[in-house]
Amino acid sequence: MNERPFQKLPGSRASTFAELDAPALMPLPASRYEIARFKTVKVHIDYHIELDGHRYSAPHPLVGQTLEARLTARSVELLMRGNRIASHARSSRPGGFTTVDAHMPAAHRAHRDWTPQRLIQWGQRIGVATGEVVTRILEQNKHPEHGYRSCLGLLGLAKRYGTDRLEVACERTLALGAFKYRHVRDMLINNRDRLDPDSTDAGWTSPEHPNLRGPGHYQ
Per the prediction, the chain carries an average pLDDT of 85
* pTM summary value: 0.49
- pLDDT: which is higher, 197 or 152: 152
Cross-strand bridge partners of residue 39: 69
Whether residue 72 has pLDDT greater than 50:
yes
Residue-level pLDDT at 202: 46
- pLDDT: which is higher, 116 or 212: 116
Answer for the pair 130, 123: CB distance below 8 angstroms, yes or no: yes
- Residues near 5 by Cβ (< 8 Å), separated by ≥ 6? 11, 12
The DSSP-derived string for 176-216 is TT---HHHHHHHHHTTGGGS-TT---TT--PPP-TT---GG
Listed by start position, the domains of the chain span 37-101, 112-194
- Model confidence over 85-113: pLDDT tens digits? 999 999 988 878 898 888 877 644 444 45
